[in-house]
Amino acid sequence: MKGWKVLASLAAVCMHAAVCTGAPEVLWRNGMDGIASYRIPALCAAPNGDLVAACDARSKNAGDLNVFQPINISIRRSTDDGKTWTKAVNSWTWRWDDAEKWAGSDPSLVVDRQAGKIFLFYNVWKWEDTKNWDRNIYRFYVQESSDNGVTWSKPRDISKDIAFPEWPFGKARNAGGFIFISSGSGIQTKDGTLLHTIVHVGDGNALFGSEDHGKTWKAIGKPVKNGDECKVVELGDGAWMINSRWRGGGRQIHVSRDRGRTWESRYDANLADPQCNAQIMRCGKVLLFSNCKSPSRRACLHVRASLDDGATWGEGVCVCPEGAAYSDMAMLKNGDIGVLYEGAGYATVNFTVVPRADVVREFKK
C-alpha cells in the first residue's frame, strides 16, 4: 500500500501541470539484444530533420563507466518524427578482448546545421588497471556523421584539445581527476560556434567547442565553480547560460556575457531538481527545460517553458509521473517537442512527443 500511496502522490503533483502526455514509445528495454542495461539518453534533430537517439548499451549490469564491463553507444533513428524507428546499432564497437579492454559511455550530440553534420561525444575508459579502477582516467572522444546519423566516423581522441589547465586533467580519479563531458546535447550558437559542457566533479563547469565546424576542438573561456552535469543555452542577448544539477533541491545557474571568460552565478531554488541530469534548449523566443520536477526524487518528469530567458518558469507538462531520470529534447519537423528519457526505474529508455502548444499554453491564460 505504501508504494501505491507514493505513486498517487506523485501523480497528484503532476496534475498541477497544464497537461500530461500519453504512453511513450519504448526504444530500449533492459535485456534487449542481450544487453543488461540501457542508460543515459541523448537526442537531436539531424540537419534534415530526422531524429537521432543514443544511449549507453551496458553489457553486464547498470554500472557506470568505472564498472568493469564493455559499454558501447547504441543508436536509433526516425525519419517520421518518432512514429517509427530503425533497429539499434552501435556507433562504434570498442575493443574488449584479452589484449585490450575499452568502454565508451555518456553520449551527447551537437548538430552543425551550417556544415550538415552531427557530432557524437562520449567518455572513454581504457582499463589499464582492472584491480584498481580508481587509477584510470576518462578520455574524451568524438565521432561525426555527414549523413544525418546513418553512418559514423572512426572515434577521435580530443582529450588534450579540450583540457583546462585549471583542472588536473590526465590524473586519476583518486588524484582529483574525475572530469567528463556531460551527456545529452550541446548547441550551435548564432555565430556558428559549436558549444558543449564539461564537468569537474565536486568543483564546477566549463565549456568547450569548435569555431571551424568540428575540424578542431578547444577549451573555451574559464571554468566556473559549483556545478555538476550541466547544459548550455544561448540567451536572447547572445549571453551563454549553463544550467547545472547541484545540491539543495534546485539548480545552479551560470551566465557569461564574454564567451566564458567571466561568469555571474546564482542558485535557482524555484527550479526544483533532485540532483539529476536535465536538458535546456531554445525554441525561437522560448526556453524549454526538461527535468524531474522534485527536490528529492527522480520522478515526475516535466517539460517547462520560460519566456524571459530562464528568470521564471511555467508549471509545464508532465511527461512521466512515476520513476524517471535523465532526459533530452529535440524539436520535431512539425514544431512539437520530442523527449527521450529514462523511465520505469532505469528499465527503459522512452520517447514521447509533447505538443509545443501545450508547453506554452499557460502563458496565454
Span 39-53, pLDDT tens digits: 999 999 999 999 999
Q: Give the 3-state DSSP-derived string for the chain, with helices as H, strands as E and coil as C.
A: CHHHHHHHHHHHHHCCCCCECCCCEEEEECCHHHCCEEEEEEEEECCCCCEEEEEEEECCCCCCCCCCCCEEEEEEEECCCCCCCCCCEECCCCCECCCCEEEEEEEEEEEECCCCEEEEEEEEEECCCCCCHHHCCCEEEEEEECCCCCCCCCCEECCCCCCCCCCCCCCCHHHCCCEEECCEECEECCCCCEEEEEEECCCEEEEEEECCCCCCCEEEEEEEECCCCEEEEECCCCCEEEEEECCCCCEEEEEECCCCCCCEEEEECCCCCCCCCCEEEEECCEEEEEEECCCCCCEEEEEEEECCCCCCCCCCEEEEEEEEEEEEEEECCCCCEEEEEEECCCCEEEEEEECHHHHHHHHHC
- pLDDT bracket for residue 20 (50, 70, 90): low
Q: What is the CATH number of the domain that holds 159?
A: 2.120.10.10
pLDDT confidence of residue 317? 95
CA geometry: angle at 91 spanning 301 and 145, to 5°? 95
pLDDT confidence of residue 19? 57
Judge contact between 242 and 253, C-beta under 8 A: yes
- pLDDT bracket for residue 174 (50, 70, 90): confident
- pLDDT bracket for residue 15 (50, 70, 90): very low
State the burial class of residue 99 (Cβ atoms within 10 Å of its Cβ: 0-12, 13-18, 19+): exposed
CA geometry: angle at 213 spanning 50 and 113, to 5°? 30
Backbone angles phi, psi at 135, to 5 degrees: -85, -10
Over residues 273-280, the mean pLDDT reads: 97
Q: Locate 181 and state its grid cell.
A: 563531458
Closest CA to 43 of 313, 292, 355, 350: 350
pLDDT of 134 higher than 80 = no
Report the Cα 23 to chain-centroid distance in Å. Answer: 22
Q: Which residue has the cell 522512452?
A: 350
Report the Cα 124 to chain-centroid distance in Å. Answer: 16
The larger pLDDT score, comparing residue 132 to residue 70, is at: 70
pLDDT confidence of residue 263? 98
- pLDDT bracket for residue 18 (50, 70, 90): very low
Amino acid at 282: R
CA dist., res. 139 & res. 315, Å (int): 39
pLDDT of 4 higher than 90 = no
User: Bridge partners of 320?
Assistant: 301
Report the Cα 4 to chain-centroid distance in Å. Answer: 30
pTM of the prediction? 0.94
Domain total for the chain? 1
Over residues 81-106, the mean pLDDT reads: 96
Residue 64 lies in domain: 2-364
Amino acid at 300: C
pLDDT confidence of residue 9? 40
% of the chain residues with pLDDT over 70: 93
Summary mean pLDDT of the chain: 92
CA dist., res. 246 & res. 227, Å (int): 6
Over residues 95-124, the mean pLDDT reads: 97
Rg of the chain over CA atoms, in angstroms?
Answer: 19
Span 284-296, pLDDT tens digits: 999 999 999 999 9
Q: Which residue has the cell 507514493?
A: 6
Judge contact between 202 and 236, C-beta under 8 A: no
231-to-185, 197, 315, 360 alpha-carbon distances in Å = 7, 6, 21, 21
pLDDT of 1 higher than 80 = no
CA dist., res. 279 & res. 62, Å (int): 22
Judge contact between 110 and 188, C-beta under 8 A: yes
pLDDT confidence of residue 26? 98
Q: Which residue has the cell 530526422?
A: 50
pLDDT confidence of residue 129? 76
- pLDDT bracket for residue 172 (50, 70, 90): confident
pLDDT confidence of residue 10? 38
pLDDT confidence of residue 3? 36
Span 220-242, pLDDT tens digits: 999 999 999 999 999 999 999 99
Span 294-348, pLDDT tens digits: 999 999 999 999 999 999 999 999 999 888 999 999 999 999 999 999 998 999 9
